[in-house]
Amino acid sequence: MFSDRVEQNDLPKQHPEYLDLLRRVLAIQADCEIGGPHLYVDAMLPTAPTQIDQLVVARTAAEEIDHFRKFARLAGDIGVDTSYILSRPNQERYLEAFRGLITTWEDFAVFGFLIDRVGKYQLEEFAGCTYAPLSRLLEHPSRVMDEEAGHIDFGTTRTAEIAARGGDARDRVQKAVNFWYTTGLDMFGRSESHRAERYRHWGLKRRTNAEARREFIAEVNPLIEAMGLEVPDPVAGRKYL
Amino acid sequence: MVEPITPTPIAGPLDDYLREVVQTLHTAVNQGMRRAADDPHAATPQIADCEEILSVIMAGEVKDWLGA
């Protein structure tokens, strides 16, 4: 297992597979960061329930754009131009979670509750990873991690509030949870992924896909139950087991 | 196995542009939050500013932004 601490100046000496995987993971992360705003800005900024909520949508988008900027800079510094990602259609995003549109407040809330939480798991992989500039971005104290935690808190609070209203509101948020829970579990990738093993071999990730997914389930299932919602079937509708 | 690593020409200018956009958005949001705290409907201008800025970013016309 590779465990060196690689600075940018050391990259020319690294194995081609290390460079390929580093370039790939930076491009994917940049895509995910800007993918969120592309899902919800158009519909949610004008229609969020209150002006405070509208401003929260704008602030969340601003923070995700800033996260894109940081990953795009890391990628650009090693020769990867990710600017095409800014104008790429949603349908072409790396992860399926970012290929649609969010058009309801329930979906926006649950996206923060569940999908930003998956994002936290992905980002945690990089804290302490072998590429030092990437690790430093996510090591405590990390503004990126703090801002993602804020998105998760907002989504969790709003999801719980909607669920607590009962009736149609609860039904709508349960529907959103059903969709995003399945989508979120798929975001961790296949349990037997060869590429994920190579990321671990090169110290660019720590956990296996299955381990991270298991930890996510252990974290969110009690939260869903505490909201009085039903935990969806963890296998039904999944594409990447 | 030495592979030259060269930064992309766009990396710096794009970083500068987006940094400024993000700062402008945060300023609008913070002003809006203060106004909305006093009057729940008073942040309309700041929300309009955010919509305008974000519409530019969502369009993703990077060459236009950077005058390239």
The answer to whether residue B31 is domain-embedded is: yes
State yes or no: pLDDT of B1 exceeds 60: no
Q: How many CB atoms lie within 10 A of CB A238?
A: 12
Please give the average per-residue pLDDT across A66-83, as a whole number. Answer: 97
Model confidence pLDDT, tens digit, residues A3-30: 999 999 999 999 999 999 999 999 999 9
pLDDT at position B3 over 90: no
pLDDT at position A82 is 97
Residue B6 lies in a domain: no
Per the listing, tokens 């072998």 go with A130
Residue B47 within any structural domain of the chain: yes
Tokens of residue A123, six digits: 């980002």
Alpha-carbon gap: A235 to the closest alpha carbon of chain B (Å): 34
Specify if B33 maps to a domain: yes
Position A79 pLDDT exceeds 90: yes
pLDDT > 70: percent of chain A: 100
- Please judge whether A12 and B33 are an interchain contact, meaning their C-beta atoms are less than 8 angstroms apart: no
Name which of B11, B51, B58 is nearest A46 (Cβ-Cβ).
Answer: B51
Three-class SS state of A155: helix
Mean pLDDT of A79-99: 97
Q: What are phi and psi of A149, to 5 degrees?
A: -60, -35
- Binned at pLDDT 50, 70 and 90, residue A67 comes out as very high
User: For A123-174, how does the pLDDT look when each residue is reduced to its tens digit (9 = 90+)?
Assistant: 999 999 999 999 999 999 999 999 999 999 999 999 999 999 999 999 999 9
**What proportion of chain A, given as a percentage, has pLDDT over 90?**
100
DSSP 3-state percent helix, strand, coil across chain A (nearest 5): 70, 0, 25
pLDDT confidence of residue B4: 81
Mean pLDDT confidence for B24-38: 97
Give the pLDDT confidence of A105-131 residue by residue, as tens digits: 999 999 999 999 999 999 999 999 999
> How many distinct structural domains can be found in chain B?
1
Contact A98, A122 (CB under 8 A): no
Instruction: Give how far A187 is from chain B: nearest CA, Å.
Output: 23
Q: What are phi and psi of A6, to 5 degrees?
A: -100, 120
Q: What is the mean pLDDT of residues A202-224?
A: 97
Query: Which residues on B lie below 8 Å from A78 (Cβ)?
Result: 5, 7
Closest CA to A95 of A194, A170, A188, A216: A188
Domain that holds residue B26: 18-66
Decide if B48 is inside a domain.
yes
Q: What integer pLDDT is reported at residue A102 of this predicted model?
A: 98
Chain B, 8 to 67: residues with Cβ < 8 Å from chain A are 8, 10-12, 14-15, 18-19, 21-22, 25-26, 28-29, 32-33, 36, 40-44, 46-47, 50-51, 54, 57-62
How far CA B64 is from CA of A40, A177, B56, B68, in Å, comes to 24, 39, 10, 7
Minimal-distance CA residue of chain A relative to B40: A51
Please give the single-letter amino acid code of residue B43. Answer: A
Judge whether B30 lies within some domain. yes
Q: Is residue B13 part of a domain?
A: no
- The answer to whether ipTM exceeds 0.90 is yes
**Closest residue in chain A to residue B3, using alpha carbons only:** A12
Residue B42: is its pLDDT beyond 80?
Answer: yes
Asked if residue B3 belongs to a domain, the reply is: no
DSSP 3-state of A3: coil
pTM higher than 0.90 for the full model? yes
For residue A51, give the amino acid letter.
Q
At residue A199 the predicted structure's pLDDT band, cuts being 50, 70 and 90, is very high
